[in-house]
Amino acid sequence: MINLISRNVVFRNIRITSPAKILLIFFILVVYFSFSFGTSHPPSFLSDPEAHAHLTDASLPELVELHDQVKSDILQYKKFSPSATAEKLRSPIYLPDGSVNFDPDLKAYVDRLRKFVDEYLRNTPEKIRRGAQNTLNDINKRTPPTSRPDTFPSKVWSTHPFGFDGVEEGFGLWRKLLPLPLSPRLVNEISTRKDIGWLKPVREGQEWEVIVTDDDGLDKWMSEWTAERITRGEMGPGKWSRLWGRLEKGVLRADLFRYVSMFAAGGIYSDSDTMPISHPYVWGLHAPSILHPDIETLTKLIQQTSSTTPSLPIKDRLNPRHSSDTNIYTQHNDTNETIINLQSYNPPYSSLSRRAPVSITELPTTILNPEISMIVAIEWDSMIGRTLSMWKQWTWFRYKRSWPDCCYPRGLEMVQNLLVSKPFHPIMLDTLATVAELVDTGVANRLSPLDLTGPGPFTDAVLRYLLVQYGVTAADLRSLRGPVRVGDVLILQEEAWHAPNKAIRRLLSHVQSFGGKVTDNTNGKDPWLFGLGWQNWQSGGKKVSYHGLTGIWKGNQ
């Protein structure tokens, strides 16, 4: 843009150091870079109604093969590089077993997790072992995990050396507010439809169990989930007991517990100084999908047909009277005829798109939705401090960390002080596998808690899953202005789980004004003071929980 301005006009009789000149250049740069020039998605082919219709001739194996080819082409279009991605994120390029960290190959991903399941879960209770095996089978089908239950477990897990007596003020909001039905205003924000059965907890409320376990409780729960005798400081004969015994610091055991609890039982894991600002049922609401339309189309087709006879084309399974023995799909138009063969599908990924297309599903994006398995939030994104269009979120604190890209384990990092998941999710399985590998290989001795059991390995596990399952890369999640949906995962923008102290203080004061039991004294007022979340002009989006950052583990490891 600057080059389009005549040099004679710009510089005539104006000194280079003129304040007016500097302000003019700054204004032009801000306007220029405020527009998105993202090229994360190539143009879509399969979203064309006529091309989509031809997919009814495809058998399930052909759809799976097409899915893999489309994903590969998309990553090639993005010029994705596992090593470059790892370096930019400050993640390890290789995993402890020597495999590539961000390898998009699905077989390599499943083989690694299957090895962990065979070694660590062979003697666990049947429900957990079968859940893990079914999860790997689902991944092989290229569908979102259907092995986990549709119903979101209404449990909140936490840890503290003194149990519930040691939690932060406000932690009781989990127990006090979550069981209440949402106000009519919030219900209508989610959906006005009355025929969606899984939204019953929103309208009628639901019992919630809040479990805050101490050190003895950690041993007890781990023993139950692993079917081994687990005792801190002791290494027994089993894989889990040896792993637990090698984690000498309490923070490491608490971290491992949070992943095991989410994988084996599901629900919400919350640090003892973390509390809700809005109900988890509305977190990520109205999130648009950022999946490439072709991946979205193929994922839905595979999911719809994977439970039927795989040897028949889709239209034969949907309409048994119709049969077809051809795999050649012909698309007609006014000028020519295009023959498309699934065995040599070559989508037209040659031109750039200015903005990534998004789509919103008909059903609300909430953790109650059977299609949604997990909610994660971005804790830190160094690109926000280097993106002019995100200037509202700039602070001196961000400036000191964004430009040198330091002070966090990852340049793009996920929150792990708060986890929301249905059981048996691959991300949790992958995180556990990584921690076990780091400990078993001795790499753990060189790592800090943040890189051993903290947000480092958890972030990498999230990004691996999105990459392998959906072809979504870390670059696609930079500088988010709100929640997005990637298949079965809702991703909240940076600091959505880090509301300011003034927000939780106002909410606590509001709830205390009811007195006694909130359920008996609402008088028509909504206990969720901020509705869908707290927000101001500088927040970067709705903030839906608060983290006290007391850092109990720092003084008592």
Question: What angle separates helix 455-470 from helix 82-89, to the nearest 10 degrees?
Answer: 150
145 and 6 within one domain:
no
Question: What pLDDT, on a 0 to 100 scale, did the predictor assign at position 24?
Answer: 60
What pTM was computed for the model?
0.85
What are the DSSP E strand ranges found in 23-97? none
Q: Is residue 431 part of a domain?
A: yes
Residues forming a β-bridge with 269: 157, 419
Q: Is residue 243 a part of any domain in this protein?
A: no
Q: Are residues 371 and 502 in the same domain?
A: yes
Q: Does a structural domain hold residue 22? A: yes
Beta strands in 140-287 (DSSP E): 155-159, 209-213, 267-270, 274-276
C-alpha 5/C-alpha 25 separation (Å) is: 11
Q: Are residues 19 and 141 in the same domain?
A: no
Number of Cβ within a 10 Å radius of residue 392: 12
Query: What is the predicted pLDDT for the residue at 514?
Result: 86
| Tens-place pLDDT, residues 129-181 | 999 999 999 999 887 777 788 899 999 999 999 999 999 889 999 999 999 99
In the chain, what is the greatest distance between 2 CA atoms, to the nearest angstrom?
Answer: 83
Taking the mean position of all CA atoms in its chain, how far away is CA 257?
19
Q: Is residue 471 part of a domain?
A: yes
Q: Are residues 140 and 271 in the same domain?
A: yes
Residue 14 and residue 131 share a domain: no
pLDDT at position 308: 53
Residues 11 and 145 grouped into a single domain: no
Give dist(CA 121, CA 227) in Å, integer: 9
- C-alpha 174/C-alpha 163 separation (Å) is 15
The neighbour count for residue 119, using CB atoms within 10 Å, is: 12
Alpha-carbon distances, residue 204 vs 179, 233, 528 (angstroms) = 9, 45, 16
- 428 with 523, same domain: the answer is yes
Question: What pLDDT shows up at residue 350?
Answer: 32
Instruction: Note whether residue 238 is domain-resident.
Output: no
Question: Are 208 and 268 a contacting pair, CB within 8 Å?
Answer: no
550 shares a domain with 455? yes
Residue segments in the chain with a per-residue pLDDT below the cut of 70: 1-43, 45, 47-54, 56, 307-361, 519-523, 550-557
**How far is Cα 120 from Cα 123, in angstroms, rounded to an integer?**
8
To the nearest 10 degrees (0 to 180), the angle between helices 250-264 and 239-246 is 140
Residues 123 and 11 in one domain: no
CB 265 within 8 A of CB 153: yes
Q: Are residues 478 and 383 in the same domain?
A: yes
Q: What is the pLDDT of residue 17?
A: 53
Cβ–Cβ < 8 Å for 488, 262: no
Report the C-alpha gap between 262 and 255 in whole angstroms. 11
Residue at 522 is within a domain: yes
Residue 210, beta-bridge partner list? 156
The total number of structural domains that make up the chain: 2
Whether 404 is in a domain gets the answer yes
* Residue 295 domain-assigned (yes or no): no
State the angle between helix axes of 106-120 and 239-246 in degrees (0 to 180), rounded to the nearest 10.
100
pLDDT of residue 544: 98
Q: Which residues pair with 489 in a beta bridge?
A: 374, 486
**Statement to judge: residues 366 and 480 lie in one domain:** yes
Domain housing 538: 118-149+257-290+362-555
